């Protein structure tokens, strides 16, 4: 089974392009499964289930979704192997711009949309910086020039990535993407001992651990104070 991790800002079009791409996998007779990671809510699993493929979801609730992802990915891989999948795809909404779920040697796809503004590429950090393939969506509704400028911005944040333009509505580009992300010779049996591409923030603070009271005396762990200055 090959494993593909897909990440990207909320509503960037991850599910749309995956649905289109999976259709092409299915036409080739490949057995695909999806696990969707989100924070509080998702009904993406319903859309994937409509393709008649195995799908699971995991909600991280109070945790950073990427932290939650790493804590669970090994079990997810086991599930995929038990389902006899050819391809297991994880989709996670990148809510925390400081983390990314990518694992060394596992194909990492970042989905980002043309409408998000030209400064977005530099804001979203590791999720974009360390992806192998960057898929840009919603090119059907912005001008050619804006697409070109946006592509350049993405390229300057991650020059080594393959950049693909895929339309989540019409599916234009999804076939091409399907040929790029799947490697039939890759068999991921376990992720035991594998490493994340990017270190997650090194420590948790009291609020990460469930503290709700505000004020210095309730703060333990890694507390970083905002620099406000005097003026």
Partner 1 sequence: MDKYTQEYTISQLLTEYPFVKDFLEDHLIPYRGKEHLTLDAFFKYLDPNIIEENAINPDLFTKSLVEYIDLMKQYFVSNKPKQTSITIYPGTHKDGRKESFDSIHIKSGEIIAIVGPTGSGKSRLLADIEWAANDDTPTGRTVHINGRALEPHERFSSSNKLVAQLSQNMNFVMDMTVEEFLDLHATSRLVKDKETIIQTIFNKANTLAGEAFTKDTPITELSGGQSRALMIADTAILSTSPIILIDEIENAGIDRKLALDLLVSEDKIVLMSTHDPILALMGDKRIVINNGGIDSIINSSEEERNILGKLEALDKTLMTLRQQLRYGKTIELKEEY
Ligand X SMILES: Nc1nc2c(ncn2[C@@H]2O[C@H](COP(=O)(O)OP(=O)(O)OP(=O)(O)O)[C@@H](O)[C@H]2O)c(=O)[nH]1
Contact call for residue 90 and ligand X (CB under 6 A) = no
Residue matched to tokens 């696990």: 35
Both tokens of residue 182? 């799947």
DSSP state at residue 72? H
Q: CB of residue 93 vs ligand X: minimum separation in angstroms?
A: 4
Cβ neighbours of residue 170 closer than 8 Å, sequence gap 6 or more = 140
Please give the helix or strand (H or E) that residue 174 lies within, else none.
helix 174-181
Q: Answer with the entry of partner 1, ligand X, Zn ion, none that 121 interacts with (C-beta below 5 to 8 A by kind).
A: partner 1
Q: Which segment (11-19, 99-107, 121-129, 199-207) binds ligand X by CB under 6 A? A: 11-19
- Which of 2, 5, 7, 15 is the binder for ligand X (CB under 6 A)? 15
Q: Answer with the entry of ligand X, partner 1, Zn ion, none that 122 interacts with (C-beta below 5 to 8 A by kind).
A: partner 1
- Identity of the residue, 156 or 170, whose beta carbon is nearer to Zn ion in the bound complex: 170
- Which of 25, 167, 174, 181 is the binder for ligand X (CB under 6 A)? 167
Whole-angstrom Cα distance, residue 50 to residue 190?
A: 28
Q: CB of residue 20 vs ligand X: minimum separation in angstroms?
A: 9
How many residues appear in the chain? 231
Whole-angstrom Cα distance, residue 6 to residue 174?
A: 14
Per-residue binding string, ligand X, 104-143, x by CB under 6 A, is: ---------------------------------xx-xx--
DSSP state letters, 105-132: TSEEEEEEEGGG-TTHHHHSTHHHHT-S
- Identity of the residue, 143 or 190, whose beta carbon is nearer to partner 1 in the bound complex: 143
- Which of 55, 64, 135, 174 is the binder for Zn ion (CB under 5 A)? 64
CB atoms within 10 A of CB 72: 16
- Identity of the residue, 115 or 188, whose beta carbon is nearer to ligand X in the bound complex: 115
């Amino acid at each position: 089974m090959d494993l593909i991790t897909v990440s990207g800002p909320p509503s960037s079009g991850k599910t749309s392009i995956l649905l289109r791409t999976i259709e092409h996998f299915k036409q080739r007779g490949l057995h695909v499964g999806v696990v969707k990671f989100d924070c509080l809510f998702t009904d993406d699993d319903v859309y994937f289930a409509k393709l008649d493929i195995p799908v699971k979801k995991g909600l991280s609730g109070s945790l950073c979704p990427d932290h939650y992802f790493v804590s669970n990915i090994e079990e997810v891989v086991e599930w995929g192997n038990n389902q006899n999948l050819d391809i297991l795809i994880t989709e996670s909404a990148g809510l925390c711009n400081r983390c990314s779920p990518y694992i060394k040697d596992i194909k990492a796809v970042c989905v980002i949309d043309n409408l998000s503004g030209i400064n977005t590429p530099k804001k979203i950090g590791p999720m974009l910086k360390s992806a192998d393939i960057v898929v840009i969506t919603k090119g059907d509704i912005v001008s050619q020039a804006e697409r070109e400028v946006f592509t350049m911005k993405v390229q300057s944040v991650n020059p080594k990535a393959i950049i693909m333009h895929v339309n989540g509505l019409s599916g234009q580009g999804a076939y091409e993407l399907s040929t790029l992300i799947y490697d039939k010779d890759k068999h991921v049996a376990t992720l035991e001992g594998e490493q994340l591409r990017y270190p997650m923030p090194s420590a948790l603070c009291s609020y990460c651990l469930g503290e709700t009271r505000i004020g210095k005396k309730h703060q333990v762990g890694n507390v970083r104070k905002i620099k406000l200055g005097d003026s």
